[in-house]
Structure 1
Amino acid sequence: MDVVSLVTLAVLAAGLGVAFLIIRRARLRRVAAAVAMAARYGFQVDPSTKGPPELRFDLFERGKSKKVSFQFWRPGKHDSVFAYEYTTGSGDTAQTHRHTCALVSLPFAAPHTKIGPEGFWSKLGARLGRRDIEVESPRFNDLYRVDSDDERFAITMLDGRAIDWFLRGNAAHAVRFEFWGPWMLCITDRMDHEFFFGFHDWAVGIPGHLPEVLTSLYPI
């Protein structure tokens, strides 16, 4: 190998080393900031990158390179909020999808059910030949699409009180919901860590707006 090639390789190696250090330092700063914010809001945090929870939510079945990072939870609780991303396509068509998710425990065992703004879950359902479930609220039916393995469950869950909550809460219009077993997954666009804590506490309050009868009709 001639001198010019050796010098070129050395320059490239040095450049890669500098880039690695910059990325590592940025990561350490993000971790330190997350730890400090968690302590300030009374949360614990796992800043590591790992795979999604072993739960059969549709979101976790999509794409590849699935990553959970910066997972926050209150001490002694199972509910959490985290950053989630996955990729679809490959090469020039590759696309990374980034979300903030809240995973909340339920007092009942839900059949797989999805609720989301018009156009989100309904496109997937149409491809699978499934029809949307409608409730006794034209406004709700205009804003949301509901898909469930058990229509009786969906209709029971979306009683008048629950529908009023969905229609009143502006934040709900930007969130997609998946229910499966004793868990609810709330999915929204990626947000900064400082907003994770409010999103977590908002999501944890959602089961309180759902009918208590679900606990006896669909016991865990």
Structure 2
Amino acid sequence: MQGSTVAFVLVAVLLGVGLFYFNYYRAKKRRELFAGFANQQGWSYVPSNPSLAGQWMGTPFRTGDHWRVQNVLSGPYNGHPMVAFDYSYQTHTTNGRGQRRTTTHHFGVVVMQLPGALPHLEVTHEGIFGGAVANAFGFRDLQFESDQFNRAFRVKADDERFGHAVVTPRMMELLLARGEIGWRIEGNSLVGWDKGSHNPTEVMNRLMLLQQVLENVPPYVWRDYAGVDPRAQQPGGGPTYP
């Protein structure tokens, strides 16, 4: 009996050590992947930047604990300062027997700097419950002339007039064609995110989508709400993300 217990403990230790080295090797290869990708694009790369975890307020930030920002890419994308990174946080639950379970939530985040600060606006997928159920619980979203768009997306805005000014028919057409991630205007940041860790190809696709969103914001919106003319902005001008 004692021998079997020792064998069990030894197997458990070996499995734990194996899992540790597997995770270490996978993380190392991921760092190398993004470092090489950054070098190809002429961007900067750092393995971690914890300060970014508190820079934005909405999804997926400011929830749970053990916030981690890893594999941080930063630099210009077609003249727009941007940052992209792996983000994760943890949540904890306890069952009826007092056993605590920890879940780690992973996201791929891309952020593009805007020419000026705009009111808050968030566009996400409706999800499995749809708008009718969500609205019944008080989570109302803006409604548009396109029923197809209303069924596919939720749009929340502090200023409804601003929301309708930004989400034009052209913007709806763009998002219906390739609105695969959630995005949000938060001050002078255009934040895009999706669940799961991203890869270099997805980073480029998501940056392209954010740029298309940016280009589809009507010029008068920039003048009326931000006091800027984006056409007068010089590529690469202004502050950059850390």
TM-score normalised by length of structure 2: 0.71
Deviation of 1:23 (Å): 4.9
Partner residue, 2:234:
none
Deviation of residue 154 (structure 1)? 0.3
Question: Which deviations, in whole Å up to 9, do the C-alpha atoms of 1:40-84 show, x marking residues without a partner?
Answer: 233321212525142222421222222111111235853111111
User: How many Å apart are 1:32 and its aligned residue?
Assistant: 2.4
**3-state SS in 1 of match to 2:48:** coil
- Aligned-pair distance for 1:198? 3.2
Would you say the 8 A contact 1:140–1:163 is kept in 2? yes
Alignment of 1:96-107 (within 5 A): 96-107=104-115
Separation in 2 of the partners of 1:82 and 1:38? 12
Residues of 1 paired with 2:157 and 2:120: CA distance? 6
**In 1, Cα distance between the equivalents of 2:45 and 2:133?**
33
Contact persistence 2:60–2:107 (CA under 8 A): no
2:63 is equivalent to residue 57 of structure 1: no
Q: Which amino acid counterpart does residue 94 of structure 1 have in structure 2?
A: T
Output the CA distance in 2 between the equivalents of 1:117 and 1:48: 29
Shift of 1:127: 8.7
- Which residue of 106, 110, 113 corresponds with 2:118? 110
Amino acid of the structure 1 residue aligned with 2:140? R
State yes or no: 1:193 paired with 2:214: no
TM-superposed CA distance for 1:153, in Å, is 0.7
Any idea what the Cα deviations from partners look like across 1:89-142, whole Å, max 9, x if unmatched? 335443222111111122342222211111389699759734211112221111
How many angstroms apart in 2 are the aligned matches of 1:214 and 1:18?
A: 55
Which residue matches 1:89?
A: 92
CA distance in 2, matches of 1:204, 1:41: 17
**Identity across the alignment (%):** 21
Superposed CA RMSD: 3.5
For the 8 Å contact 2:49–2:72, the answer to whether it is kept is no
Change (3 A) 1:73 1:62: same
Contact 2:54-2:62 within 8 A present in 1 as well: no
CA distance in 2, matches of 1:14, 1:188: 35
Deviation per residue, 1:178-205 (Å, 9 max, x gap):
2111111111122443322332333233
1:28 and 2:28 are equivalent in the alignment = yes
* Cα distance in structure 2, aligned partners of 1:184 and 1:165: 16
The 3-state SS of whatever aligns with 1:133 is coil
3-state SS in 1 of match to 2:33:
helix
Q: In the comparison of the two structures, how many residue pairs are matched? A: 213
Could you tell me which of 150, 153, 158 is aligned with 1:141? 150
Q: In the aligned structure 2, how far is the partner of 1:129 from the partner of 1:207? A: 30
- Residues 82 and 204 from structure 1, CA distance in 2 versus in 1: closer, same or farther, beyond 3 angstroms? farther
Letter in 1 for 2:56: L
Q: Does structure 1 retain, via aligned residues, the 8 Å contact 2:120–2:158?
A: yes
1:71 and 2:79 correspond = no
